[in-house]
């Protein structure tokens, strides 16, 4: 088990960001929510590390 | 103090009294790009006539950020050192969300380059320096108050109709270079489409004069309390002039917003006092567009006439100077007959490649700053929120990715053991060379940079063998012990080898002139 990485780790993050927005293009708000939800589940499966996922949830909820 | 606009004198052109002989090159537009184009051609021994409908430098500062590559190009044209001396060199950028700093970057200029990463200098100074260099150059005939009103293409020349205060005349040129700006009348007269995206957003751009002891940094705010819900930028220029950009929203009325009674209170909120003078104010809508092709037989588009980008990221003027750099040696060779016209096709493909990269980066930044409702705004706002708690998200915050030259696609021979930063297609990195700089030895002609290798003379390229210093080793050799670099007249690496022979080098040289 490892810890959540919160330092830069993705090359071409600008490219990913553009692709992410493009994926939402033309979707209604509920469709966008659905896309985001699926994306979280897909990525969670890919990460495959419970500890990391719990830490990600904590970070996302932190105010 | 504000800039003192001195009109340049109009002189009645010879063509008004008798037909002029056909010129090699006529350049339409004496903005930074047209002026630089003429100087670049003159460096290759090519004469040109520049005509401009106006008789003063850029009104308002417009372009202020000049990149390292632009400064290197301006240096070859004789005004680089002047620009650096007058300009404000900066390297730190700070980004704020609401009123807290979320992220800052330091362009961390690597040691051992003649030119800094960025210099801020008002466009009117750059134009003034270029005009002075042009006027001192016997190969260039610069004509103010000469306006192009018509254009005609023929098989091997172009003709323009020109209007002056004393009447009209026509000019013929083997090549006409359109440097007539974003609204390009030449583009319009040729009926060419300008494709791309318009951002439904308005920005107030103002230069103010104020005395302040702020460091030379770029400050960018998302949703500051002094300008609710919008973005703002503050950037320092010489002469105590500061650039302020304020996002206004699409519904803002440009005529109203330009009025001092509206501008001044907005700026008071940015700087926190009223001890400043307005120097220049304008309201802009930004676009990212380009022509489908830059070369149209005998008419070639360069600079804003060929492509426009939104200014976040400073890619307009900087991109145009890279066009000039790319076209100069090619057009000179075609005019001299040492290359076929097909070489000009590579100006088209290479600069469209560079332009698309500039458009992509500028569009992304503009979108991040002015997100549409829905997913764009959702993600933008959440990147900002995450930036305050997770370091990775800070680099995702996009208020402009600053201009660096593109890497041209290249089939030139490569060696993976050598550094990526000097691979074929890149601009050769600078390095100190005794009291001089490597880049001042490259350029203008084909050069074979020979580092610790043996090589006999080769026709068509000049050999230089600098001492292999630590910096040169780091930037050019990597883990190799020796290298031969073939470098184009625009200082772009064409090919490199650890070992090679005369035949391979001669083939690579021939490939350059064939535009392969
Ligand atoms: C607010 C703002 C900020 C910017 N910031 C930056 C920045 O920081 N860095 C950067 O690199 N770029 C920046 N830019 C972009 C930069 O200003 C342009 O890319 C640059 O001016 C393009 O130069 P140009 O010579 O192609 O065109 P222009 O400067 O527009 O020059 C065109 C010339 O053609 C002449 N002309 C037009 N029609 C005719 C005709 N019919 N006959 C004869 N002459 C004619 C005009 O009088 C003019 O002199 C900015 C632009 C704006 C608006």
A62 interaction partners in chain B (CB closer than 8 Å): 389
* pLDDT (0 to 100) of residue B109: 74
Which residue puts its alpha carbon closest to atom 1 of ligand 1? B62
Say yes or no for a CB contact (<8 Å) between B395 and A6: no
Say yes or no for a CB contact (<8 Å) between B361 and A13: no
Measured in residues, chain B has a length of: 516
Residue B152, C-beta contacts closer than 8 angstroms, at least 6 positions apart = B158, B159, B160
A8 interaction partners in chain B (CB closer than 8 Å): 391-392, 395
Say yes or no for a CB contact (<8 Å) between B367 and A21: yes
* Span B283-298, pLDDT tens digits: 999 999 999 999 999 9
| Rounded Cα gap, residues B428 and B443, in angstroms | 10
Nearest CA to CA, how far is A18 from chain B (Å)?
7
Average pLDDT over residues B87-113: 89
Average pLDDT over residues B469-479: 96
* Span B333-342, pLDDT tens digits: 999 999 999 9
| Rounded Cα gap, residues B225 and B378, in angstroms | 20
Q: How confident is the model at residue B107 (pLDDT cuts 50, 70, 90)?
A: confident
Segments making up each domain of chain A, as ranges = 27-62
A30 C-alpha vs ligand 1 centroid, how far in Å? Answer: 44
Helix ranges, B307-429 (H) = 316-336, 342-369, 375-387, 391-394
| Chain B interface mutation, best of A14, A23, A57, highest count of B Cβ atoms under 10 Å | A14
Average pLDDT over residues B13-22: 97
* Span B195-242, pLDDT tens digits: 999 999 999 999 999 998 888 999 999 999 999 989 999 999 999 999
| Rounded Cα gap, residues B497 and B484, in angstroms | 5
A49 C-alpha vs ligand 1 centroid, how far in Å? Answer: 54
Antiparallel, parallel or unpaired: β B195-198 and B203-209:
unpaired
Say yes or no for a CB contact (<8 Å) between B367 and A20: no
| B53: number of Cβ within 10 Å | 18
In this predicted structure, the answer to whether residue B1 has a pLDDT above a threshold of 80 is: no
In this predicted structure, the answer to whether residue A1 has a pLDDT above a threshold of 70 is: no
| Rounded Cα gap, residues B369 and B151, in angstroms | 40
| Chain B interface mutation, best of A17, A23, A27, A55, highest count of B Cβ atoms under 10 Å | A17
* pLDDT (0 to 100) of residue B313: 84
Measured in residues, chain A has a length of: 63
Ligand 1 surroundings by CB, under 6 angstroms: B 28-34, 51-54, 62-65, 123, 147-148, 179-182, 185, 205, 284, 303-304, 311, 314, 316-318, 320
| Rounded Cα gap, residues B513 and B439, in angstroms | 22
The pair phi, psi for residue A46, each rounded to 5°, is -65, -40
* Span B179-193, pLDDT tens digits: 999 999 999 999 999
Nearest to B472 by CA among B410, B407, B421: B421
| Rounded Cα gap, residues B243 and B437, in angstroms | 33
Q: Is A17 on the interface with B (CB under 8 A)?
A: yes
State which residue of chain B sits closest to A60, comparing Cα positions.
B386
**ipTM of this predicted structure:** 0.97
Say yes or no for a CB contact (<8 Å) between B374 and A29: yes
* Span B419-454, pLDDT tens digits: 999 999 999 999 999 999 999 999 899 999 999 999
* All domains in chain B, ordered by first residue: 14-87+120-195+290-354 (3.50.50.60), 420-514 (3.40.30.120)
Write down the residue that tokens 């800094």 correspond to.
B116
High-pLDDT (> 90) share of chain B, %: 91
């Amino acid at each position: 088990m490892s810890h959540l990485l919160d330092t830069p780790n993705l090359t071409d993050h600008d490219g990913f960001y553009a692709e992410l927005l493009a994926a939402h293009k033309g979707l209604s708000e509920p469709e966008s929510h659905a896309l985001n939800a699926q994306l979280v589940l897909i990525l969670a499966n890919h990460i495959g590390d419970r500890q990391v996922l719990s830490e990600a949830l904590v970070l996302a909820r932190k105010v | 103090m504000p800039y003192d606009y001195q009109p340049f004198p109009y002189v009645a052109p010879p063509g008004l009294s008798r037909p002029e002989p056909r010129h090699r090159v006529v350049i339409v537009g004496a903005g930074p790009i047209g002026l630089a184009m003429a100087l670049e051609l003159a460096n290759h021994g090519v004469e040109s006539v520049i005509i401009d409908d106006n008789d003063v430098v850029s009104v308002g500062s417009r372009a202020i950020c000049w990149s390292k590559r632009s400064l290197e190009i301006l240096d070859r044209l004789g005004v680089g050192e002047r620009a650096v001396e007058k300009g404000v060199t900066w390297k730190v950028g700070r980004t704020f969300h609401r009123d807290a700093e979320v992220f800052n970057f330091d362009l961390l200029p690597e040691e051992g380059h003649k030119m800094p990463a960025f210099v801020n200098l008002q466009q009117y100074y750059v134009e003034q320096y270029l005009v002075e260099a042009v006027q001192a150059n016997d190969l260039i005939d610069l004509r103010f108050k000469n306006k192009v009103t018509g254009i005609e293409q023929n098989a091997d020349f172009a003709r323009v109709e020109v209007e002056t205060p004393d009447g009209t005349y026509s000019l013929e040129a083997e090549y006409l270079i359109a440097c007539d700006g974003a609204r390009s009348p030449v583009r319009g007269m040729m009926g060419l489409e300008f494709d791309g995206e318009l951002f439904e957003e308005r920005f107030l751009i103002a230069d103010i004069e104020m005395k302040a002891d702020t460091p030379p940094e770029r400050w960018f705010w998302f949703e500051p309390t002094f300008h609710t819900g919008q973005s703002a930028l503050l950037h320092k220029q010489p002469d105590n002039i500061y650039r302020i950009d304020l996002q206004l929203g699409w519904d803002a009325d440009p005529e109203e917003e330009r009025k001092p009674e509206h501008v001044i209170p907005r700026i008071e909120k940015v700087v926190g006092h009223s001890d400043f003078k307005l120097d220049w104010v304008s309201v802009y809508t930004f676009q990212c567009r380009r022509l489908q092709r830059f070369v149209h037989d005998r008419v070639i588009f360069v600079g804003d006439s060929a492509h426009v980008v939104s200014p976040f990221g400073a890619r307009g003027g900087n991109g145009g100077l890279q066009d000039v750099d790319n076209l100069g040696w090619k057009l000179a060779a075609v005019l001299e007959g040492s290359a076929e016209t097909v070489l000009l096709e590579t100006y088209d493909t290479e600069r469209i490649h560079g332009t698309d990269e500039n458009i992509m980066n500028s569009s992304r930044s503009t979108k991040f700053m002015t997100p549409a409702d829905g997913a764009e705004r959702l993600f933008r706002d959440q990147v900002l929120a995450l930036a305050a708690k997770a370091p990775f998200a800070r680099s995702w915050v996009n208020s402009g990715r600053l201009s660096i030259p593109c890497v041209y696609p290249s089939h030139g021979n490569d060696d993976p053991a050598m550094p990526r930063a000097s691979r074929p297609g890149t601009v050769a990195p600078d390095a100190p060379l005794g009291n001089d700089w490597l880049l001042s030895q490259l350029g203008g002609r084909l050069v074979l940079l020979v580092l610790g290798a043996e090589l006999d003379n080769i026709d068509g390229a000049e050999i230089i063998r600098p001492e292999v210093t630590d910096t040169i080793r780091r930037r050019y050799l990597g883990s190799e012990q020796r290298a031969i670099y073939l470098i184009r007249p625009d200082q772009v690496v064409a090919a490199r080898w650890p070992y090679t022979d005369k035949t391979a080098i001669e083939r690579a040289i021939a490939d350059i002139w064939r535009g392969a």
